[in-house]
Amino acid sequence: MPKLTLADKLVVAISSRALFDLTESHRIFIDYGVDAYQRYQIEHEDEILEAGPAFALVKKLLRLNRPDKQYVEVILLSRNSADTGLRVFNSIKHYGLDITRAAFTKGEPTSRYVPAFGSQLFLSADTEDVRRALDDGYAAATIFPSVFKNETDELRIAFDGDAVLFSDEAERIYQEEGLAAFSKSELASALQPLTGGPFKDFLAGLHRIQSDFPERESPIRTALVTARSAPAHERVIRTLRAWNIRIDEALFLGGLDKGEFLRAFGADIFFDDQRTHVESAAKHVATGHVPHGVANE
């Protein structure tokens, strides 16, 4: 019998607090402790949870699956025990989400199961769990909700460049030596591809799904939304070309606020390493903070 594996799928791991609104439950945990939290969850296990910050994204990811091919696997990672996690699975069933695999850790960090499941993306409300996954080399983000919803069926995902899709090697020069040194370095290195950042493999996974469809019929659209501008654009374009990874739209904003552009793109989620950009973007679209690279040291 062949070994069962998820290697042919885009695997996304998500925490229960990212998938559902557990604000009240979390407040009880913080104010009254784990025993009160467990009692509360069991007493309310037949009450359906409201959608959380990543709920709409998860629905769209699962919608990519076809009867003849399963492109995406969503894994639930939860600090609940299996007993208190019953409410979460009842809610998953209620909303018709095709999520069947889970790890319940009863208070322990969940990030250690990100590699075990082979996840290309981990979304959580716990920044420390996210940091641990990033340190292990996996794409991960702390998710922030937005009132804006992209109501189309198409999945639209936007990425910052440096320290997200790419390494922070160029960002480090900007932070330490300023814009003039950054521009000079990028111009001199224009033909040298950047090293991949934590989200390179996730973008590659999206690209593999896109490649199964005619370009105009793809259910996924991606965008690079970066503070870079000319002449620092060339190295980015040549890097993506060297990786042979498609990006549908590239916005070189030269430091302009990203929020309105992300809303114009219609992003279901945007990933950025810098907290100021995340807070601005979250006014317009759901946003994932990637606590990685020199800006987070």
In a domain, 149, yes or no: no
The model's pTM is: 0.92
CATH number of the domain to which 223 belongs: 3.40.50.1000
Range of the domain at 255: 155-296
Q: Do both 188 and 137 map to the same domain?
A: no
For the chain, the straight-line distance linking the first and the last C-alpha, in angstroms and rounded, comes to 48
How high is the pLDDT of residue 238? 92
Asked whether residue 178 falls in the same domain as residue 95, the answer is no
Do 187 and 261 lie in one domain? The reply is: yes
Assign 272 a pLDDT band (cuts: 50, 70, 90).
very high
Helix (H) or strand (E) holding 271: strand 269-272
Same domain, 113 and 190: no
Peptide bond preceding 231: is omega within 30 degrees of 0, i.e. cis?
yes
Poorest-pLDDT segment among 118-127, 175-184, 255-264: 175-184
Q: Is position 249 within any domain?
A: yes
- Confidence class of residue 2 from pLDDT cuts 50, 70 and 90? low
Same domain, 130 and 49: yes
128 & 182 share domain: no
Taking only the tens place, the pLDDT of each residue in 71-112 is: 999 999 988 888 778 889 999 999 999 999 999 888 888 999
pLDDT at 147 over 80: no
Q: Are residues 178 and 217 in the same domain?
A: yes
Residue where one domain finishes, among candidates 82, 112, 144:
144
Which residues are designated catalytic?
A: 160
Residue 288 lies in a domain: yes
Q: For residue 157, what are the CA distances in angstroms to 39, 105, 257, 271, 285?
A: 38, 30, 18, 8, 10
In a domain, 2, yes or no: no
- Of 88, 198, 98, 195, the residue nearest 141 (C-alpha): 198
User: What is the DSSP code (8-state) at residue 288?
Assistant: E
Residue 269 host element (H or E)? strand 269-272
Q: pLDDT-based confidence at 114, cuts 50/70/90?
A: very high
Residues 172 and 203 in one domain: yes
Q: How far apart are CA 291 and CA 133, in angstroms?
A: 10
pLDDT, one tens digit per residue, over 181-201 is 887 887 787 888 888 999 999
Residue 236 and residue 200 share a domain = yes
Same domain, 172 and 125: no
pLDDT, residue 41, reads: 81
Would 272 be classed as within a structural domain? Answer: yes
Q: Quick one: average pLDDT of 254-280?
A: 93
* 144, 175, 203 - which closes a domain: 144
For the chain, give the mean pLDDT.
90
Beta strands in 100-247 (DSSP E): 101-104, 121-124, 140-144, 155-159, 220-226
62 is a domain residue: yes
In this structure, the answer to whether residues 222 and 248 fall within a common structural domain is yes
- Count how many domains the chain has: 2
